[in-house]
């Protein structure tokens, strides 16, 4: 395992940059190519990213579905999705956060599980293989997953009276308490859950999550724009470069595992 992990991490940077968009012929039931379809758009791309319809047109359609249990969730669009905007006066986020992040989250897509990953990836300028890897770690690609139980009744979503109650739902681990207004769509709609992940990664990568500057292990570097892997760790821990690669439950450990699975691409292995 150790040697395989080292090899995968050594290849990650190359694969991360080379998401392929051309010369791939979609078939009726073809899985994604090993390098994925879409690469990372650079810092500053936020204003030129495709809207929902344009992103939909860029999805490589395929009937490849290895999680048929997601079908009902995959076909559900939010009837009304209104995530709470942040207060610009708080200084917690860049003033552009509401317009280019919160206001763009819609969940306005239906398709197979992998098509949903593609849609969110191209909409937010994030590598589709990164979304696949996070979904693997969070749920094994099952939208019905839930967790992060709390004993605080004030944090429980509507309909969850018994304590402890879950606050995180969906295929990529979308936390209701971090995105007020997302529930029940993070539970009921695969596209809504994944849309939030894409939004977080783009906004964090742009350098707009100002509160992260106050957190983390300063010896590993302070929060800045352009560190997508750091943003992956923060999606999990709510912290910046916290812990270490060998310390479970920390952002650094989550990053380390994400890089490994990004390189290994378990979704293409037999029996996944």
pLDDT, tens digit, for every residue of 39-91? Answer: 999 999 999 999 999 999 999 999 999 999 999 999 999 988 999 999 999 99
Residue 23 has pLDDT above 60, yes or no: no
How many angstroms separate the CA atoms of 44 and 202, rounded?
A: 10
Query: What CA–CA distance (Å, rounded) separates 192 from 52?
Result: 12
CB contact at 8 A, 215 and 113: no
What is the per-residue pLDDT across 161-216, written as a single tens digit (0 to 9) for each? 899 999 999 999 999 999 999 999 999 999 999 999 999 999 999 999 999 998 76
- pLDDT, position 136: 98
Q: Which of 1-5, 51-55, 196-200, 251-255 has the lowest mean pLDDT?
A: 1-5
> How far is Cα 59 from Cα 75, in angstroms, rounded to an integer?
16
Three-class secondary structure of residue 31 per DSSP = coil
Distance CA 153, CA 165 (A): 8
Query: Which pTM value belongs to this model?
Result: 0.89
Higher pLDDT, 266 or 30: 266
> Residues 6 or more apart from 70 whose CB is under 8 A from it?
113, 141, 142, 143, 144, 171, 190
Give the residue from 3, 252, 8 showing the smallest Cα distance to 129: 8
Integer Rg of the chain from CA: 18
Average pLDDT, the chain: 91
Helix, strand, or coil (residue 169): strand
CA–CA gap between residue 234 and residue 211 (Å, rounded):
11
Residue that the structure tokens 């995959």 belong to: 74
């Amino acid at each position: 395992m150790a040697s395989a992990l080292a090899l995968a991490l050594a290849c990650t940077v190359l694969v991360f940059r080379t998401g392929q968009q051309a010369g791939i012929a979609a078939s009726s039931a073809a899985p994604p190519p090993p390098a994925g379809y879409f690469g990372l758009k650079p810092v500053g791309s936020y204003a030129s990213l495709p809207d929902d319809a344009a992103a939909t047109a860029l999805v490589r359609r395929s009937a490849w579905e290895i999680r048929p249990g997601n079908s009902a969730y995959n076909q559900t669009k939010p009837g009304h999705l209104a995530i709470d905007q942040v207060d610009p006066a708080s200084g917690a986020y860049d003033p552009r956060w509401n317009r280019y992040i919160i206001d763009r989250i819609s969940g306005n897509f239906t398709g197979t599980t992998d098509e949903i990953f593609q849609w969110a990836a191209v909409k937010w300028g994030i590598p589709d293989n990164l979304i696949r890897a996070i979904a693997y770690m969070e749920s094994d690609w099952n939208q019905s997953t839930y967790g992060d139980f709390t004993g605080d009744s004030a944090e429980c979503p509507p309909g969850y009276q018994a304590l402890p109650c879950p606050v995180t739902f969906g295929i990529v681990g979308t936390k209701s308490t971090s995105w007020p207004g997302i529930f029940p769509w993070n539970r009921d709609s695969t596209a809504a859950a994944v849309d939030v992940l894409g939004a977080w990664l783009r906004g964090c990568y742009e350098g707009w999550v100002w509160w992260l500057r106050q957190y983390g292990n300063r010896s590993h570097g302070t929060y800045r724009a352009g560190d997508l892997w750091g943003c992956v760790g923060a999606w999990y821990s709510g912290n910046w470069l916290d812990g270490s690669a060998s310390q479970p439950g920390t952002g650094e450990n989550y990053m380390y595992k994400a890089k490994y699975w990004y390189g290994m691409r378990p979704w293409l292995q037999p029996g996944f």
